């Protein structure tokens, strides 16, 4: 049985909204951020109304309740991605901060002049810039797996690059522009055979299909709650316990210490070693509720639904004149980036917005990928569990209007 997106839509108050006095909202921008179900909003509201207190440091009832809720969410997240232990789940602010944490802590400790980092041409800026900063500081070498014309990673070149013995490879599980799902299990295995560790950017995978970090054998795996029906302001760094244990702290301050003297400190145990200061407590609890929500629907059902939506969209978009999709391949999720003739993507997005349809236009934080395809920007439509086939019909109708307007 597939998903009943009409039934699911009911869980999301914002999807009942109307745009521009009376036009129903069609939300096709979940790759940027997903909408939040009532269950997540209620979980955060419940914390603020009945349990609000700072965690870990108090002995009063509210502090114990808040700590329990915060740590219980960590356990849910660990189980969700099949981590061995909740010690391997570090709360950060987002995917971006998780990658910066690894570059800053693991990178500064372990990399030396001339070491090689392998990335790909399809990375989000958050998996490029932290490594660029580190590379310029420590004289490291960056090299890139090219993207083919049909939006896949060139694995022949990857294997050649691995012969140069990189220290770390870091790549996305699913592209936020092309929708391509990379063969990460094999890619991690090859990296390990070459003596490298592997960081996987799971910002677009964890929300959309089941991820098992132990089966993948990922060393680090990072994602953001706001893209998986959870709140903004919180992300996850998964790391193998041994690796995280060997790394120095990232930020210093309260909670990340066991003992402090005037001139020295002893870091706390995992996972607290990497969580300095008062964390995003309500957001952690909201993330736990998002995990419960996604599991109540079923990750396999969500993945299948998005696959069907993408297949349907490909068929329907083929009928729109002058429309060119980037990254046409069969290894994909529900993200479609395209050009519409000579109409600027911002104009396309604006015309669609006038019809209640929310899509994204721009470089989607992947400037090098757009440069590779010789274009400054694309329009992107992305699908999630609450989208329906009718939403895609609306998108297509909206694009026909755009074509008409520009003759
Ligand atoms: C593949 C990918 N990586 C990283 C990010 C950055 O996520 P955040 O802004 O939540 O840190 C995004 C956001 O769109 C993304 O799609």
217-269 residue pLDDT tens: 999 999 999 999 999 999 999 999 999 999 999 999 999 999 999 999 999 99
Nearest Cα neighbor of 3 from 334, 361, 360 is: 334
**With bands split at pLDDT 50, 70 and 90, how would you rate the model's confidence at 330?**
confident
Query: φ and ψ at 11, to 5 degrees?
Result: -75, -15
1 pLDDT higher than 70? no
> Given the CA of residue 172, which atom of ligand 1 is nearest to it?
1
Using an 8 Å Cβ cutoff, are 66 and 281 in contact? yes
Tell me the H-state helices in 119-196: 129-138, 155-162, 184-193
Contacts of 128 (CB under 8 A, 6+ apart): 119, 368
Q: Closest Cα to atom 16, ligand 1: which residue?
A: 176
Q: Mind giving me the DSSP string for 287-352?
A: HHHHHHHHHHH-HHHHHHHHHHHHHHHHHHHTTSTTEEEE---SSB-SEEEEEETTB-HHHHHHHH
Nearest Cα neighbor of 208 from 333, 32, 63, 60 is: 333
> Given the CA of residue 227, which atom of ligand 1 is nearest to it?
10
CA 49 to ligand 1 center in whole angstroms: 31
**With bands split at pLDDT 50, 70 and 90, how would you rate the model's confidence at 160?**
very high
CA 162 to ligand 1 center in whole angstroms: 26
2 pLDDT higher than 80? no
Active-site annotation holds for 365: yes
In degrees to the nearest 10, what's the CA dihedral of 32, 292, 127, 344?
A: -10
**Mean pLDDT on 88-108:** 98
135-153 residue pLDDT tens: 999 999 999 999 999 999 9
Coil, strand or helix: which one is 394?
Answer: helix
In degrees to the nearest 10, what's the CA dihedral of 38, 15, 206, 67?
A: -20
CA 147 to ligand 1 center in whole angstroms: 19
pLDDT at 241: 98
20 pLDDT higher than 90? no
Parallel/antiparallel/unpaired status of strands 116-120 and 197-201: unpaired
């Amino acid at each position: 049985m597939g998903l009943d997106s009409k039934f699911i839509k009911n869980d999301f108050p914002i999807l009942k909204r109307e745009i521009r006095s009376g036009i129903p909202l069609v939300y096709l921008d979940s790759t940027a951020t997903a909408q939040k179900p009532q269950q997540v909003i209620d979980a955060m509201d419940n914390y603020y109304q009945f349990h609000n207190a700072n965690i870990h440091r108090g002995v009063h009832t509210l502090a114990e309740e808040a700590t329990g809720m915060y740590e219980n969410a960590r356990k849910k997240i660990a189980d969700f991605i099949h981590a061995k232990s909740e010690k391997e789940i570090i709360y950060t602010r987002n995917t971006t901060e998780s990658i910066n944490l690894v570059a800053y802590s693991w990178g500064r400790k372990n990399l030396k002049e001339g070491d090689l980092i392998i990335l790909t041409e399809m990375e989000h800026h958050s998996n490029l810039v932290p490594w660029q900063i580190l590379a310029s500081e420590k004289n490291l070498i960056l090299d890139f797996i090219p993207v083919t014309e049909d939006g896949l990673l060139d694995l022949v070149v990857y294997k050649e690059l691995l012969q140069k013995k990189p220290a770390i490879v870091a790549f996305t599980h699913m592209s936020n522009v092309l929708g391509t799902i990379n063969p990460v299990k094999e890619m991690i295995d090859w990296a390990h055979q070459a003596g490298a560790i592997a960081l996987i950017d799971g910002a677009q995978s964890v929300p959309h299909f089941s991820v098992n970090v132990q089966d993948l054998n990922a060393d680090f795996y990072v994602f953001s709650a706001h893209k998986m029906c959870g709140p903004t302001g919180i992300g996850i760094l998964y790391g193998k316990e041994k690796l995280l244990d060997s790394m120095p702290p990232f930020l210093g301050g309260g909670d990340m210490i066991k003992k402090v003297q005037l001139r020295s400190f002893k870091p706390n145990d995992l996972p607290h070693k990497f969580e300095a200061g008062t964390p995003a407590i309500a957001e952690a609890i909201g993330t736990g509720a998002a995990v419960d929500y996604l599991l109540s629907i079923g990750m396999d059902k969500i993945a299948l639904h998005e696959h069907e939506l993408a297949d349907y969209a490909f068929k329907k978009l083929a009928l729109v004149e002058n429309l060119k999709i980037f990254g046409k391949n069969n290894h994909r999720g529900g993200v479609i980036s395209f050009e519409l003739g000579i109409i600027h993507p911002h104009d396309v997005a604006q015309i669609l917005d006038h019809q209640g349809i929310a899509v994204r236009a721009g470089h989607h934080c992947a400037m090098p990928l757009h440069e590779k395809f010789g274009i400054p920007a694309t329009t992107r439509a992305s699908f999630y569990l609450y989208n329906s086939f009718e939403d895609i019909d609306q998108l297509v109708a909206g694009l026909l209007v755009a074509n008409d307007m520009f003759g």
